[in-house]
Structure 1
Amino acid sequence: MNNQQADIVIVGSLNMDLVIRAKRMPRPGETLAGDTFTTVPGGKGANQAVAAARLGASVAMIGCVGDDAYGERLRAGLMVESIDCRAVTTLSSVSTGVASIVVDEQSQNAILIVAGANGELTPGLLEQFDNVLDSARIVICQLEVPVPTVHHALTRARQLGKTVILNPAPAVGPLPADWYPLIDYLVPNETEAQALTGIVVDSPQAAEQAAHMLREAGARNVIVTLGERGVLKVGEEGCGHWPAPVVKALDSTAAGDTFVGGFAAALAAGQSEGDALRFAQAAAALSVTRAGAQPSIPTYVEVKEFAWNEKDSPAQH
């Protein structure tokens, strides 16, 4: 893989996830006994890289880790997936990023992140790997690395004529106005869409309203993931809603990352947008039936073998 060009380049975070499973979330000031503890490779960037690789794409990762055991494990995990890690920089001055995750009995999660080395992925460092960006067809970014770095990646990817995907997570408010025209596919979940627009996204109708607002801001296509309620997309051809497969959820960690990676992998393989959305939906649905971040991400074969009884044609309007 290291001598090949990648279909997809991920610019983003690598974290070690410290996962506690408990019956419920603790209240402020409360101490609870958890049920289990595990360390799992994660980070939105790395998760999306693993998803895209397992789901059929050739992938390169641009990011930073610390010179510590977690960093070594994260790099080794990506290389096992045949992900090009030439642009994963090891830094001795900081620790590898970590995410503390609590998962309750309803499979909902709360996450606290310490950026560590992820905060050292600067525009200057990114410029050193311009050849990696240039070799890709699709560039994916999130918001777990410094904002100026994300802006640089989006701008440079647009200059190079790449398909640009932004998963605006975590989102705490609107994006800068000059970002939207750089984005081919903006992929927020309900919470992120609300943060970006101020609209309370509590239904597919509200998601459509938010998506139209984001598209009017300049994003070419907006895909709002709605969990068990499916996916809503607004683009030049109008609006479509794709229902979600019905599965028994165990852990929703990395479901959104699996969706993004699966969608990008399907696009890279030449699938239509509609087929790519269905493929990504199936991948995300399979991921929530398993525990953990990267361990939950299915393979291409598993997704192709997965079937459900929902209508696979979106409602268009």
Structure 2
Amino acid sequence: MFGSLSQDLHLPMERHPLTGETVMSGDIEYRFGGKGANQAVAAARAGVGAMFIGKVGDDPQGHEYVRRLGLFGVDTSQMEIVPGMPTGTAIIYNDKGGENMIVVAPGANHRMGMHDIERLDLLTPEDVLLMPLELPHDVVMAAVHRGSERGARVVLNLAPFAPLPAEVLAACDPVVVNESEARLLAEAGVTPDSLLTTLGAAGSRWGELQVPATPITPVDTTGAGDAFCGTLAAALSQGEDRETAMRRASEAAAACVLHHGAQPPLPDETPA
């Protein structure tokens, strides 16, 4: 995993505010997130050796995050603590229906640079490299090329959306998007050779193959897409075919929305 992490500040509320409106929230809740770390945790929970390449700030949140990822079984040997920088932070607004709005301050995540691409020389043709787009885009594009050069299978989660060049997307198998990201991709006039679209309650579609979702009543949809991507990458690295990988990913996404927060609690934590 080559990606981002953040401390998540959750604000529960009856409904999301309109533009210019003030609404009252419940008590703020501090959790752990960031698409890269969420996906690494999901992959580790799916039973593969997940290594996370990323950066945290030299603050209590950063040190705790490194410890926590290790407890999930994620290899943190390629993580870096950046002096003088805060750990990335996301503010998440959750309404009573389980839907969310998210604002991200990247902090140390945006200290990932071209020099970090060298860490990907650890990859082999047996590996899967999974990345979201919460890092500087030039770094992500360079990572796609390096992963391909090393013979690894590159899985790109095109979120938050950005119209990357067609040759970058062509090197990924698959490019994972949700429905809104798929529309933006179509508007940009780019169709990846391998496109997997998550469809919420309707499941997911990869080329001509569509797999239904696990029926569930969500508690909190934060991190569902990350659970899907991390488990998908894990299944592909284990040699599963597309349909099996999608079904496993769908089951992981369904389990994710049954607890608050993007990551499940550890045994020594109070369940959210």
Q: Same fold (TM over 0.5)?
A: yes
In structure 2, the residue matched to 1:39 is 30
Structure 2 distance, partners of 1:130, 1:223, is 24
In the comparison of the two structures, how many residue pairs are matched? 266
1:291 aligns with 2:268: no
SS of 1:124 mapped into structure 2: helix
Contact (CA 8 Å) 1:19, 1:103: kept in 2 or not?
yes
Contact (CA 8 Å) 1:175, 1:196: kept in 2 or not?
no
1:133 aligns with 2:123: yes
In structure 2, the residue matched to 1:28 is 19
Q: Structure 2: 5+ residue runs without aligned partners?
A: 267-272
Deviations 1:66-96 (A, max 9, x none): 0001101111111101211111111013111
Contact (CA 8 Å) 1:288, 1:296: kept in 2 or not?
no
Decide which of 228, 234, 248 is 2:201's aligned counterpart: 228
**1:134 positional shift:** 4.1
- Residue 180 of structure 1 aligns to which amino acid in structure 2? L
Moved over 2 A (4+): 130-136
**1:136 positional shift:** 5.9
**1:296 positional shift:** 7.1
Q: Percent identity over the alignment?
A: 36
Contact (CA 8 Å) 2:117, 2:146: kept in 1 or not?
no
Structure 2 distance, partners of 1:84, 1:41, is 17
Contact (CA 8 Å) 2:4, 2:55: kept in 1 or not?
yes
Structure 2 distance, partners of 1:170, 1:91, is 24
Deviations 1:90-122 (A, max 9, x none): 101311100000011111100000010000000
1:281 aligns with 2:250: yes
Contact (CA 8 Å) 2:53, 2:79: kept in 1 or not?
yes
1:72 aligns with 2:55: no
SS of 1:23 mapped into structure 2: coil
SS of 2:155 mapped into structure 1: strand
Deviations 1:119-162 (A, max 9, x none): 000011232x1343348610011110111110111000101111
Quickly say closer, same or farther: Cα 1:37–1:92, change in 2 above 3 A. same
SS of 1:247 mapped into structure 2: coil
Q: Structure 1: 5+ residue runs without aligned partners?
A: 1-9, 200-209, 298-317
Quickly say closer, same or farther: Cα 1:228–1:252, change in 2 above 3 A. same
Question: TM-score, length-normalised on structure 2?
Answer: 0.93
In structure 2, the residue matched to 1:188 is 177
Decide which of 88, 95, 116 is 1:97's aligned counterpart: 88
What is the root-mean-square deviation in Å for CA atoms of aligned residues?
Answer: 1.7
SS of 1:62 mapped into structure 2: coil
Structure 2 distance, partners of 1:51, 1:141, is 13
SS of 2:209 mapped into structure 1: strand
Contact (CA 8 Å) 1:60, 1:132: kept in 2 or not?
no
SS of 2:96 mapped into structure 1: coil
SS of 2:16 mapped into structure 1: coil
**1:279 positional shift:** 0.8
SS of 1:156 mapped into structure 2: helix
